[in-house]
A and B are shown apart, each in its own frame.
Chain A
Amino acid sequence: MANTAEAHHDDHDHHMPGFFTRWFCSTNHKDIGTLYILVSFIAAIIGGAMSWYIRLELAEPGIQYIDDFQFYNVLVTAHGFLMVFFVVMPAMIGGFGNWFVPLMIGAPDMAFPRMNNISLWLLVAGFILLLLSAVIGDGPGTGWTVYPPLSNQEYQPGPSVDLGILSLHLAGASSILGAINFIVTIFNMRAPGMTIHRMPLFVWAILITAFLLLLALPVLAGALTMLLTDRNFGTAFFVSGQGGDPVLWQHLFWFFGHPEVYIIIIPAFGIVSQIVSTFSNKPVFGYLGMAYAMSAIGVVGFIVWAHHMFTIGFDVSTRAYFTAATMVIAVPTGVKIFSWLATMWGGSIKFEVPMLYALGFIFLFVVGGVTGITLANASADLVFHDTYFVVAHFHYVMAIAAILAMFAGYFYWIGKMSGRKYPRGLAKLQFWVFFIGVNVLFFPQHFSGFAGMPRRIPDYPAPYEGWNYVSSLGALITMIGTILFFIIVWRTFYGEEAEANEWGEGATTLEWAVASPAPWHTHEVLPDMTGKAPAE
């Protein structure tokens, strides 16, 4: 193993360490970022496979493949957890955040490189626990929201739910440490002259996301701890028969859960801002407005949580408040959408693959935003709650919009990360297949939901058949798009060499000033940003 114990005096080597040291004991933000992306890929394959299996079952009414309904619920639960905690978050924050925050602010690495590595490995440990939870015992059939009483020992006996709880504890600890690391890095390690108001918007996005993680995840940790002691040590937090309150769980969960959806989408905002500006060959329109719109979304995101709970029997004024507060978020969100449009306005737009994905993101996010405003109405939500309308809504905003932004970031930065260019034609094809796929997959779910089809259910009456069939076809197209993506990843290893700046004058941020692939150590001489324009 590494010579760490003795090597307290930093003779920080510049030659590459051996395999185990390099990949398991890493203190290098790029290597750690790469490992995060790898984790995300693996989790995406598993989480994706689960969702396609669900769609296969739902393609027609009746029971085809999944006759164990607990197993169906386990698939839904594991899919949700995997996608949220082990696909999107690792790729955007751990992967792109690690790779590009130091590069963009002109820092040689993260503030706490060792802590960076424990964030990664705690995530891996959490990932393994989650997979174990699905295969040991009956699996957790609770949905990703883990509401009691369904999640109590009585209805979910055995260790599965406990494994899920501890999986989230480890993933949460990983994210909290990562958040601290990002905040300190961004506050403390910006290149000379790069003031807060000159940071690229992606860095802003990660900064705000880190604050959300720091404040929201410990609340989830507290709630999970209560659930764990309720299940195993006889406490009564959520047990109504003993004076507890199941609704308390919902409050705590969603106090975390709503910020969580912004944790997923704000990094996407950051990526899309970089890309739209690069390929419009213009600085982002309203840079400060964009930065503070994200901040506003982050702040308001903490006071809207009960819009997920409209059906529990609030009084009218509480419903009115949460409806209104939720709708307020549309204002900063609108600022973002219109600023992206204004950035493109009059720009010389290049429709490279990252730009296609960024545009796809904007489209999906608008659709999901509109259904979000619909659902924000407490009186409408009483009807839509727990229907496929909700499934369609949240997949548009936080699932496929986020995935499109991840693809956008991948194609934007893969040259920088690997030194190779992706196959352009194939990637364009992949974009269209995937984009059409996800829309065919999720748009019809609005209709099923409108017609009253409940979520989390393996069977449904025949009248819902048509749109479900279309939706499953969409899942098939999406699957083809995903396979194409992995073919592209593989082909990239044999691609042409990428220049330092593939994208030309539009790409102004600091990562384009270093060679491709980015050398193992970068910015060892700090770039001087004094007097330079905001680096958006």
Chain B
Amino acid sequence: MASSESNHPYHLVNPSKWPFVGSLAGFIMATGGIYYMHDGSIFAFLAGTALMLYVMYGWWSDVISEAEGGVDHTSVVKHGLRVGMVLFITSEVMFFFAFFWAFFDATVPLITRTAHEIWPPEGVVPFAAFGIPFLNTLILLTSGATVTVAHHKILHGDRAGCGRWLAYTVILGLIFTGLQAYEYIHATFGFTDGIYSSTFYLATGFHGFHVIVGTLFLLVCYFRTKKGHFTADTHIGFEAAAWYWHFVDVVWLFLFVCIYWWGGSGYVPPS
């Protein structure tokens, strides 16, 4: 409560139903997901997901109106929000760390001698790294640049310009996702074809999921610029989205270099 009679710069939040309902949604998603995995219908899982999306919408709408209300988000609170976002991204990095570990466990004898001697394993025809994957690298790098331009626009108070460059970024994100989907459809190895497929699909799949989330995050920022949100010195939501996007970008660079390029370089086409 950063109202006039407050003695401190912190934001004491009013009671909210969202956390409780959100956990309920998580619980329904979990049980529903298991029901589905064990040959039940997917309905409960989808219902849980829908509830979760509703909670996200409601909760973040509250956050946005608090931000736009102008009193709650003092500079101290904003600093806290930024640190929080950095920490969240750190935890995401560690999540990908696990999948890279799985990949290197299969390809390099690190401290256990269980790696494969030939990689990709026999019979797997990997993607040519310098085809679509490299194109995707260029697309993501470009999108990193466009989101930075958007940031400069808002820093100079040009909200419309910020929105425009956000739109370019979102479009690049969508093209990336489309190309990934195209690639998945045309892959010569299926999801269940052994360890190569496992590491490939889960690492790139989770990355793709993060790209979609990041795209939505940027899209929300785009609509917020249309509604007249964000000013030259207050645009935490935008900053968070941009950081998240850069994180997604960096993960891709690692995926590209390790899994596509280096991981495909051992491929010997049948003569």
Contact = CB atoms under 8 A, between A and B. Distances in A.
A4 B16 contact: yes
B20 A232 contact: no
A524 B34 CA distance: 46
Contacts of B83: 183-184, 187-188
Interface in A1-19: 1-2, 4-5, 7-13, 17
A4 to B, nearest CB: 4
A312 B113 CA distance: 11
A111 B82 CA distance: 12
Interface stretch (A244-252, A286-294, A429-437): A244-252
A10 B2 contact: yes
Interface string B15-40: 11111101110110011011101100
A162 B95 CA distance: 19
Contacts of B17: 1-2, 4, 24-25
Contact of A235 (B1, B22, B202): B202
Contacts of B87: 179-180, 183-184, 214
Interface stretch (A45-53, A76-84, A123-131): A123-131
Contact of A27 (B13, B35, B198): B13
A117 B16 contact: yes
Contacts of A470: none
Contacts of A125: 23-24, 26-27, 30
B30 A166 contact: yes
A7 B69 CA distance: 11
Interface stretch (A216-224, A266-274, A374-382, A492-500): A216-224
A25 B116 CA distance: 52
B259 interface: no
Q: For the complex, would chain B's binding face be called helix, strand, loop or mixed by DSSP majority?
A: helix
A222 B95 contact: yes
A132 B32 CA distance: 13
Contacts of B88: 180
Contacts of B105: 245, 247-248, 251
A218 B71 contact: no
Interface residues of A, number: 94
Contact of A159 (B15, B24, B34): B34
B178 interface: no
Contact of A158 (B16, B38, B102): B38
A221 B34 contact: no
A10 B3 contact: yes
Contacts of A314: 111-112
A143 interface: no
A184 B106 CA distance: 37
A189 B10 contact: yes
Interface in B91-130: 91-99, 101-102, 105-106, 111-114, 116, 121
Interface string A22-45: 101111000000000000000000
A517 interface: no
B79 to A, nearest CB: 6
Contact of B196 (A5, A113, A230, A243): A243
A457 interface: no
A316 interface: no
Contact of A129 (B15, B31, B38, B113): B31
A108 B198 contact: no
B7 interface: yes
A218 B94 contact: yes
Contacts of B112: 245, 247, 251, 312-314
Among B22, B76, B112, B121, the one with the most A-chain Cβ atoms within 10 Å of its Cβ is B112
A9 B37 contact: no
B7 A525 contact: yes
A524 B114 CA distance: 58
Contacts of A242: 194-195
Contacts of A216: 94
Nearest to A5: B58
A297 to B, nearest CB: 19
Interface stretch (B59-67, B137-145, B147-155, B242-250): B59-67
Nearest to B112: A247
Contacts of B1: 10-12
B12 interface: yes
Contact of A4 (B62, B91, B121, B191): B62
A218 B98 contact: yes
7 contacts: A112-B84, A115-B19, A180-B88, A229-B198, A229-B202, A242-B194, A306-B111
Smallest CB-CB A-B distances: 9 pairs: A222-B98, A234-B192, A121-B23, A243-B195, A118-B19, A12-B1, A218-B94, A117-B19, A235-B198
Given A117-B19, A188-B79, 18 more contacts: A7-B14, A8-B62, A112-B84, A113-B13, A114-B18, A118-B20, A170-B23, A189-B10, A189-B76, A215-B90, A219-B95, A222-B96, A223-B98, A226-B102, A243-B121, A245-B105, A245-B106, A318-B111
Interface of B: 1-3, 7-8, 10-20, 22-24, 26-27, 30-31, 33-35, 37-38, 58-59, 62, 65-66, 69, 71-72, 76, 79-80, 83-84, 87-88, 90-99, 101-102, 105-106, 111-114, 116, 121, 191-192, 194-199, 201-202
Interface of A: 1-2, 4-5, 7-13, 17, 21-22, 24-27, 107-109, 111-115, 117-118, 120-122, 124-125, 128-129, 132, 158-159, 162-163, 166-167, 169-170, 173, 176, 179-181, 183-184, 187-189, 214-219, 221-223, 225-226, 229-237, 242-245, 247-248, 251-252, 255, 306, 312-315, 318, 521, 523-526
